Amino acid sequence: MKKWKTGFLLLCMILLVLAGCSDSNAGTDADSSGDGGNKVIKVGVLASLTGALETYGKQTVQGFELGLEYATEGTMEVNGHKIEFVVEDTETKPEVAIQKATKLLEDDKVDFLVGSSSSGDTLAVLPLAEEYEKVMLVEPAVADSITGADWNKYIFRTARNSSQDAVAGAAAIAGEGVKIATLAPDYSFGHDGVAAFKEAALDLGAEIVLEEYADPAATDFTSNIQKILDAKPDYLFVVWAGANSPWNQISDMKVQERGIKISTGAPDIAALYTMEQLIGMEGFSVYYHTLPDNPVNDWLVEKHKEKFNGEVPDLFTPGGMSAAIAIVEALKKTEGDTDAELIIETMEGMSFDTPKGQMTFRAEDHQALQTLYAVRLEKVDGFDYPVPVLMRELTPEETAPPVRNNQ
């Protein structure tokens, strides 16, 4: 009998020890999965590190890293939780973007997605954010459909969209009876950009006499430009992204000498070098490092020079920084809780300071309302490319795009 009692007591003690171990292990699992304790919060960044948009991808990644540093005051932590980010190259190919996003979600177990450089890549990944119930910060892709027809509630965008660009671009040139031709790459970025510009220009009384689309990878734009010359517009409005810009051929074919004025968004610094012939052009800018006047941009310019051998931040660097700031600010409000529903509730209507001033995520479609800039390209002493000089800021209210998600 004593042996039985002794054995029973020993069995109870073993079960208690095992139960304690089980509780301990459960706590460890919760810490790593994001349900308690000092966990690691992971962000997966999708960017074009190769392909036609690789410079944009690199700018975004550099800005994102600096944004985490700025928003966490150098600790890389929120509420005691360490923040890590993993970067994957989409190669500017939608099928690769899907593969890399799936890897980030399933293998790396990221809590957020950020990206991508290409609208095509981004549109391919949007359904995964919904499937895996993870918030995705879209930067720098601009296609309207991202926060329009293809939107889902897990999508927030710090990047401006095509309609915001269009409002700025149309305000610069459109008016009653003005004839305008457009030139854009033949994919979602180009089509959405032209559609939004056309809507804004028509509202101002302009006439669109030609919509010309070119192969995104083209190096010869002769036939496209000839069609524009034949249409005899007053203005040619160009929507373009990537290193293979049409500016040299526009100059070679003497478009401006034939009485057609050029207007476009001022691009990144590398592309500005190819726009010497467009000095005096009036258009708009998403960002140039001397345009914003605020403490966040001052910090970005100084830190970027310090970290990258004196180089200034470029077109999409502040966007990457803004995406990081948005994530950190949301996590501060949730005290590090990464539950997607809570993050969505927190970010809807949230305002936060960025290098471009204050942004606000519109509750209806999660598009960030933000400042853009009306600029003139000018020759400035000390610069060997045309510099975007501020004419006036275009306020977030002024550039607010239509809500297009039909939710």
Instruction: State pLDDT tens for residues 51-60.
Output: 889 999 999 9
Residue 21 has what pLDDT? 41
Distance, in Å, from the CA atom of 151 to the CA atom of 153, rounded to the nearest integer, reads 7
Residue 47 burial by Cβ neighbours in a 10 Å radius (0-12, 13-18, 19+): buried
Residue 360 has what pLDDT? 98
362-388: average pLDDT? 95
Residue 135 burial by Cβ neighbours in a 10 Å radius (0-12, 13-18, 19+): buried
Domain definitions of the chain by residue range: 40-160+290-370, 163-285
Question: Which pTM was predicted?
Answer: 0.82
CATH top-level class of 40-160+290-370: alpha beta
- Highest-pLDDT range among 16-30, 73-87, 248-262, 269-283: 73-87
Residue 176 in contact with residue 207, Cβ under 8 Å? no
Residue 407 has what pLDDT? 64
Structure confidence by residue, pLDDT tens digits, 159-183: 999 889 888 888 878 889 999 999 9
- Nearest alpha-carbon partner for 374 in 181, 190, 170, 236: 170
Among the residue ranges 8-12, 114-118, 239-243, 398-402, the one predicted with the least confidence is 8-12
- Nearest alpha-carbon partner for 352 in 368, 339, 336: 368
Identify the architecture of domain 163-285 in CATH: 3-Layer(aba) Sandwich (3.40)
Structure confidence by residue, pLDDT tens digits, 27-39: 333 344 444 468 9
Distance, in Å, from the CA atom of 331 to the CA atom of 315, rounded to the nearest integer, reads 27
Mean pLDDT of the chain: 89
Among the residue ranges 63-72, 117-126, 189-198, 239-248, the one predicted with the least confidence is 239-248
**In the numeric block, which tokens belong to residue 47?**
């960017």
| Same topology between domain 40-160+290-370 and domain 163-285 | yes
Q: Could you give the 3-state DSSP secondary structure of residue 5?
A: helix
User: How far lies 206's CA from each of 27, 177, 197, 346, in Å?
Assistant: 64, 5, 11, 41
User: How far lies 60's CA from each of 96, 102, 198, 354, in Å?
Assistant: 18, 20, 29, 14
Residue 15 has what pLDDT? 41
